[in-house]
Amino acid sequence: MSHMSELSVQQQNEDAELDLNDLEVIFDVLNVYDPNDISHVYPEMGSSEFMLQVGKAWRKVLNIISEPNDTISQNFTIDKKR
């Protein structure tokens, strides 16, 4: 494999990794997800089972992006204490 090919593969791998900014965007999307906005187009995305999956994903992303000194407010936003 040539050096250029190796670099291209390495760059693709780096581009595929999620960084903190990516995770914060995902958290924001999960945080405002409303099944009523999509269920008429994709009914399964409004189901109770899907909403449980959204909640689990939201909690996992929250655990990744929050820090010990962060405060989780009542509307589930993160108030950074950095």
Which of these, 68, 81, 76, lies nearest to 30 by C-alpha position?
76
Interior CA angle at 55 toward 53 and 56, to 5°?
65
| 33-82 pLDDT tens trace | 999 999 999 999 999 999 999 999 999 999 898 887 776 665 555 555 54
pLDDT for 13 beyond 80? no
Domain ranges of the chain: 18-79
Q: Can you tell me the mean pLDDT for 14-31? A: 89
Tell me how far apart the alpha carbons of residues 75 and 29 are, in angstroms, rounded to a whole number: 14
pLDDT of residue 6: 66
Q: Is the dihedral of CA 54, 57, 59, 61 positive or negative?
A: negative
**Distance from CA of residue 48 to its chain's centroid?**
20
